[in-house]
Amino acid sequence: LAKTTQPISMDSYEGQEVNITCSHNNIATNDYITWYQQFPSQGPRFIIQGYKTKVTNEVASLFIPADRKSSTLSLPRVSLSDTAVYYCLVVSGGATNKLIFGTGTLLAVQP
Partner 1 sequence: ETGVTQTPRHLVMGMTNKKSLKCEQHLGHNAMYWYKQSAKKPLELMFVYSLEERVENNSVPSRFSPECPNSSHLFLHLHTLQPEDSALYLCASSQDLLAAIYNEQFFGPGTRLTVL
Q: Which residues bind partner 1 (CB under 8 A)?
A: 32, 34, 41-46, 49, 51, 91-104
Tallying the residues shown for the chain, one arrives at 111
CB of 108 to partner 1, least distance (A): 16
Shortest reach from residue 59's CB to partner 1, in Å? 13
Measured from the CB atom, the residue of 13 and 101 that comes closer to partner 1 is 101
- Rounded least distance, CB 56 to partner 1, Å: 14
Total Cβ atoms within 10 A of residue 39:
13
Compute the half-sphere exposure of residue 77: CA atoms within 13 Å on the CB side of its CA. Answer: 2
Question: Does residue 90 come out as left (phi exceeding 0), alpha (psi in the -120 to 50 range) or beta?
Answer: beta
Nearer to partner 1, 45 or 77 (CB): 45
Helix (H, G, I), strand (E, B) or coil at 18: strand
Residue type, 41: S
42 or 111, CB closer to partner 1?
42
